[in-house]
């Protein structure tokens, strides 16, 4: 299957700082990437849909000024958590869709963010 | 609204068979996916059903009934490594994945 690489796999940052998470599709061009957040023992919550070359579409309740998404190329999308707070601590996962109807949305390894 | 229901937790014995059910109510249907997620890791794709019937892939099988809004994931010859959460997800009319909360499967020796 297709490979999606996410970096870093874990990060600890101080409250008030910003953290950037990268998501790369290694062997295919991903016109669409998705960013999820998952709190312990809960399911995936879609935060935003990132389309190459255009603005991301954010889900209701997700602050677009706090979670900056940039999809500058067909193989890279970044999520920047700005002015992070302890309540932003979570597991962030990206997925990428290969063009086509039957697309399984391959996932990156996830990033464990801890804000102290 | 859109809704996907699956049991919160199930327990099974190593070597046995377990069936994890998923019912859904979505605006449109463009396929149902099952994913496996080990604790602290991202989900990995297991199966995809878009037509009614059973799809078999090794020890794992997935069944779909679109008229009933129902699917199940069947795991045979359970191994300890199968202990994980199993997520059911449906692609709606906008081709967006709607996720269930996941079923935590505990395998006992």
Alpha carbons A81 and A76: distance in angstroms, whole number: 17
pLDDT at A101 over 80: no
Alpha carbons B5 and B55: distance in angstroms, whole number: 21
Alpha carbons B70 and B65: distance in angstroms, whole number: 5
CB contact under 8 A, A106 and B100: no
Give how far A107 is from chain B: nearest CA, Å: 6
Percentage above 70 pLDDT, chain B: 100
**Residue in chain B nearest A110 by alpha carbon:** B42
Percentage above 90 pLDDT, chain A: 65
- In this prediction, residue A94 has a pLDDT band, given cuts at 50, 70 and 90, of very high
**Residue in chain B nearest A43 by alpha carbon:** B101
Chain B within 8 Å of A100 (Cβ-Cβ)?
A: no
Alpha carbons B35 and A42: distance in angstroms, whole number: 14
CB contact under 8 A, A106 and B102: no
pLDDT score of A47: 95
């Amino acid at each position: 299957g297709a490979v999606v690489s996410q970096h870093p796999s874990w990060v600890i940052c101080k409250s008030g700082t910003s953290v950037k998470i990268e998501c790369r599709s290694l062997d295919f061009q991903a016109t669409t990437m998705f960013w999820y957040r998952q709190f312990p023992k809960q399911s995936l919550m879609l935060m935003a849909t990132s389309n190459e070359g255009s603005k991301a579409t954010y889900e209701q309740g997700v602050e677009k000024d706090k979670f900056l998404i940039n999809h500058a190329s067909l193989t890279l999308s970044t999520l920047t958590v700005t002015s992070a707070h302890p309540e932003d601590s979570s597991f962030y996962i990206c997925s990428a869709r290969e063009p086509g109807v039957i697309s399984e949305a391959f996932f990156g390894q996830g990033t464990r963010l801890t804000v102290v | 609204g859109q809704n996907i229901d699956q049991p919160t937790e199930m327990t099974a014995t190593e070597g046995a068979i377990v069936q994890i059910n998923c019912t859904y109510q979505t605006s449109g249907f463009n396929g149902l996916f099952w994913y496996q997620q080990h604790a602290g890791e991202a989900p990995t794709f297991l199966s995809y059903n878009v037509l009614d019937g059973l799809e078999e892939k090794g020890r794992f099988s997935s069944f779909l009934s679109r008229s009933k809004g129902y699917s199940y994931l069947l795991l045979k010859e359970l191994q300890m490594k199968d202990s994980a959460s199993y997520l059911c997800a449906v692609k709606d009319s906008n081709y967006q994945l709607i996720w269930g909360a996941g079923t935590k499967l505990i395998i006992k020796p």
